[in-house]
Amino acid sequence: MIHLHHVPMARSLRVMWMLEELGLDYDLSLYSIRDGSMRTPEFLRLSPAGRTPVLEMGDEVIFESGAILQLLAERHPQSGLHRAPDHPDRARYLELIHYSETIGCLVENLNMNRVFLRNPADASPVVIRLLTARLRGALAAVGPQLRGDFLLDSGFSAADIMLAYGFVLADRYVRVGDYPELQAYWDRCKARPAYQRAAARDGVQDFFDRDFYPLPEV
């Protein structure tokens, strides 16, 4: 039995997408960032930092979305989502899996400044503008990395799941549509039946209160 601990729209969506690509059955437990449900002793025994995703596979428990995707891809090589150590795309595969968190960390810092501060007046407009500019740069750098329809010459892989998920959140601060090449890539990823199934199971997010956060005045 596979059990995923999940916050809607959070990094655990990567794992849902991966499980759907692999055609694996799984159960979900849903959490909220805001209600303290991930700070209980029971949850912290699964995820010491109190974050999702956590994936339980029998007696095995693993957290961190990148680690989960790499592990699942390695265990299911027939899926075509893995790139073995001797594969010509192996280095780019690993590089782009981890580049996804360059985007993720910038979005997380913007979330802290724009969504989760108890008093929004405490946010620094200068810091927000700087983070947004860096996010623009990180997104713009993805376009030259595309190889045909996806990130690797050898086609769709776990690296696409890791990186493309970032557009779900980044689009709240920088419009992916400002980069036509990225938008076309994201549209191809979203059109995959596995992504659509994951999105249908995702649940309702409760942290963003608008579709887009424009830059504040300095």
Q: Are residues 94 and 142 in the same domain?
A: yes
DSSP 8-state assignment for residue 122: G
Read off the pLDDT of residues 123-146 as tens digits, 9 standing for 90 and up: 999 999 999 999 999 999 999 999
Rounded to a whole number, what is the distance in angstroms from the first to the last CA of the chain?
52
The verdict on residue 123 lying in a domain is yes
62 contacts 72 by C-beta, under 8 angstroms: no
DSSP 8-state assignment for residue 28: E
pLDDT grade for 16, boundaries at 50, 70 and 90: very high
Read off the pLDDT of residues 86-110 as tens digits, 9 standing for 90 and up: 999 999 999 999 999 999 999 999 9
If phi > 0 it is left, if psi is from -120 to 50 it is alpha, else beta; for residue 155 that is left
Q: Are residues 96 and 58 in the same domain?
A: no
What pLDDT sits at residue 120? 85
Q: Are residues 94 and 74 in the same domain?
A: no
Q: Are residues 95 and 54 in the same domain?
A: no
The verdict on residue 207 lying in a domain is no
Describe the crossing of helices 12-22 and 193-201 by its angle, rounded to 10 degrees: 130
CATH code of the domain covering residue 41: 3.40.30.10
pLDDT grade for 1, boundaries at 50, 70 and 90: very high
Q: Are residues 117 and 181 in the same domain?
A: yes
CATH code of the domain covering residue 178: 1.20.1050.10
Q: Are residues 111 and 153 in the same domain?
A: yes
pLDDT grade for 217, boundaries at 50, 70 and 90: confident
Contacts of 48 by beta carbon, 8 Å cutoff, 6+ apart: 63
The verdict on residue 19 lying in a domain is yes
Specify the number of domains making up the chain. Answer: 2
List beta partners, residue 29: 5
Mean pLDDT of 38-66: 97
Domain extent for 75:
2-79
Phi, psi of 156, rounded to the nearest 5 degrees: -60, 140
What pLDDT sits at residue 59? 94
Q: Are residues 55 and 134 in the same domain?
A: no
Q: Which of 47, 79, 111 is the last residue of a domain?
A: 79
Q: Are residues 187 and 129 in the same domain?
A: yes
pLDDT grade for 218, boundaries at 50, 70 and 90: confident
Q: Are residues 112 and 74 in the same domain?
A: no
Model pTM greater than 0.85?
yes
Mean pLDDT of 63-68: 97
